[in-house]
Amino acid sequence: MAKTREIKRRIRAVGNIKRITKTMQMIATARFQAAFRRASAAQPYTRKIAELVGELAATASAGGTISHPLLKSDKPATGRKLLLVIASNRGLCGGYNANILRVATAFLRDNKEAQIDLEIVGKKAQAYFKFIGRPVAKSYTQFGDNPRYEDVVQLADQYMQLFTAGGYDSIDVISMGFISMAKQTPKAVRLLPLENPAAVAGEKAPAASVQYDFSPEPTELLNELLPITVKTQLFQCFNEAVVGEQIARMVAMKAATDSAGKMGKELTRRYNRARQSAITTELSEIIAGAAALE
């Protein structure tokens, strides 16, 4: 009886875990749908802005008529770089954070000759770099499951000011890139300088094959469009990171729910066998006792 009671307790515990993971899967699904709508709504604008800026910069640069501090800094090289790593605040999302942090670690290792100031988003990245003893210049906590464009704009403005002032030679962002429901890949994006905005947006670099007459002047156009490009690309990185996190959590919780279901079935079979064995033993004892009385 003690064995059957123990198995029954385990069945109840596994059932509770299954209900929890199923609920978390449903919550992640709802959050994914909201994040996917936001990312999908912003993607065409981001792509078109990058395509327009890339075509404008390629055409104007072909004539040697244009330069911009966001395309190429005119300050002397400092040997300093800035890296922003976007991870999650919560776990239970499979290998999501591990994949991002692996790419970040490889980036730091490949650029060890440069002085890299590390900035992070997400408690998981903060805990990881604290564990390995890597100093963190700044940690941002205002971004959650629904990053606001206003917060991203403030961060982008700060980065543009630092870069144009010559504080850094480059600014990179490592986050989870959303390709499809079945594929998310961590990526390192060169935010500044904007060497090829269209390529960052996933488009082919435009060819300056057509001669344009610009009105207003190209410099004035780029002064307006380049900061918007930086802001929208950084905002898209945050949006895709949230989508990737929710997909990873959906998959992880579904796997946990399925495993709990299988374990519950296995425990139920073990409980039935143990109960049957106990009943058989009791019947044998009763029959043996009755036979001894005859």
The CATH number of residue 192's host domain is: 3.40.1380.10
Residues 190-216 have pLDDT tens digits of 999 886 554 444 445 445 455 666 677
Residue 141 lies in a domain: yes
pLDDT of 198: 46
CA-based nearest residue to 260, from 20, 7, 15: 15
Residue 289 lies in a domain: no
CA-based nearest residue to 197, from 233, 154, 163: 233
pLDDT of 202: 47
Residue 238 lies in a domain: yes
pLDDT of 116: 93
Long-range contacts of 24-27 (CB under 8 A, 24+ apart): 24/92, 24/249, 24/253, 25/249, 25/250, 25/253, 25/254, 25/257
Residue 12 lies in a domain: no
pLDDT band at 284 (very low <50, low <70, confident <90, very high): confident
Q: pTM to 2 decimals? A: 0.81
Count of the separate structural domains present in the chain: 1
Residue 14 lies in a domain: no
DSSP states of 173-189: EEEEEEEETTEEEEEEE
pLDDT tops 90 at residue 279? no
pLDDT, mean over the chain:
84
Residue 30 lies in a domain: yes
Count of positions (residues) in the chain? 294
Domain interval for residue 240: 26-250
Residue 129 lies in a domain: yes
Residues 54-108 have pLDDT tens digits of 777 666 555 555 667 887 777 778 889 999 999 999 888 989 999 999 999 999 9
pLDDT of 201: 44
Residue 274 lies in a domain: no
Cβ atoms of 239 and 46 within 8 Å: the answer is: no
Report residue 150 CA to chain centroid gap: 20
Q: 3-state SS of 250-284?
A: HHHHHHHHHHHHHHHHHHHHHHHHHHHHHHHHHHH
In the numeric block, which tokens belong to residue 137?
Answer: 């210049």
pLDDT of 82: 95
Higher per-residue pLDDT: 117 or 114: 117
